Structure 1
């Protein structure tokens, strides 16, 4: 089995990349998707790219020009009713007009993908509540008692969290289902 739980294909080589893509918000999202679904994505020829934040969604998808053979899957953090991410996704899909039929935007309810990792992987029973106005990563690291003062501290903190993810069982179903749907969508032709 692969880390995603799929049946491993012995001796299989990576497929040439499809025109279709999956976009995620940032580096941590991409690293987590690679950790769990990387083997499967290479077999299917699916490239995961970073948006560098949801604010770039419309520009990225407009430039990509989705179509029947160029599907776009998008995974956003905090895609819940009333969120900034929901408004950006809805505005982008409206702006794409007929091309929106070739785009699937999904998300999870967490403010950051860190929270999609089961908290027991870092010794917690639940992720800490981080007050609004406090950076979610800094607040999480503070609650864990881990260094958090610099960007390098945040990077090391994420590396510790990611290093504890072994496979799909270490992730929330709210993330698992969305990534699986995106993979199915971009490989459906």
Structure 2
């Protein structure tokens, strides 16, 4: 007689069958170039490096667009549809990965990164910029380089009395002073200030500048979705005019501070800055670190 309800699904060794049907994860060394998929996020990329961060081993995967993302080493990956547990490479492979990482890693300024190096004791020489926004931009792009060289960047809070600031710093042998000035163009107020300041200690001071009204303008406008920075009427304060053009709040100083943070957040590397600023900052770094 037929069973109208069918076979009991719990009859027999159902636990064993379930285990057999589930594929087993295999251990696999995270060797450079191996293409893997992170199961949780769906990220697919080639292994470019393995390192220990915060006591945890992580693997860096580079996707086809060149973007790199880090994942904890271990289970949760697929290779050709098969589950794998990524393990740290051993011996020669680990050394090869370390060498590639050392050679290929770049800082935001485009220079080769110095890994596992301690920051130098600060030099007596200094780089001065007009204000806080200038200092934050220099730190974001050149911070690594400056720490390696032991160079401190200080804001001046304006350059209206630059000559006095130079005298106060007392530059001399082994104590050079580099200064970055906004809107340093012929005939400007800044050009007259710099001409006077250059007479104070010409052998140990280098004053350079960029042509932009404010350091904000040294960020490529494309990073903010514009073809060019707008022209702001002289009757309106420049930063507030920029915020108004972008549709951002601009009534208070806090609004201006938030606007700058948003602009600074679009800067990923030197490629997001105008060459007229890049060259001047590099020139100042070379000046204050050159042997005498």
Structure 1's consecutive aligned runs of 4 or more residues displaced over 3 angstroms after TM superposition are none
Which residue matches 2:124? 19
In structure 2, what is the Cα distance between the partners aligned to 1:120 and 1:162?
13
Which residue matches 2:136? 31
Kindly provide the CA deviation profile for residues 6-47 of structure 1, in whole angstroms up to 9, marking residues without a partner as x: 000110111000000000000000000000000100110000
Q: What is the TM-score normalised by the length of structure 1? A: 0.97
- Does residue 93 of structure 1 match 2:93? no
Kindly provide the CA deviation profile for residues 155-175 of structure 1, in whole angstroms up to 9, marking residues without a partner as x: 000000001100000000000
Which residue matches 2:214? 112
Equivalences for residues 1-189 of structure 1 within 5 A? 1-94=106-199, 96=200, 99-189=201-291
Which has the larger helix fraction?
A: 1
In structure 2, what is the Cα distance between the partners aligned to 1:185 and 1:82?
26
For the aligned residues, what is the CA RMSD? 0.7
Deviation, structure 1 residue 68:
1.9
In structure 1, what is the Cα distance between the partners aligned to 2:245 and 2:161?
30
Which has the larger strand fraction?
A: 2
Which gives a bigger RCO, structure 1 or 2 (Cα 8 Å, sep 6+)? 1
- Number of residue pairs aligned between Structure 1 and Structure 2: 186
In structure 2, what is the Cα distance between the partners aligned to 1:132 and 1:67?
40
Please tell me whether the aligned partners of residues 161 and 193 of structure 2 are also in contact (alpha carbons under 8 angstroms).
Answer: no
* Structure 2 alignment gaps of length 5 or more: 1-105
In structure 2, what is the Cα distance between the partners aligned to 1:83 and 1:70?
29
Kindly provide the CA deviation profile for residues 42-79 of structure 1, in whole angstroms up to 9, marking residues without a partner as x: 11000000110011311211111111211110000000
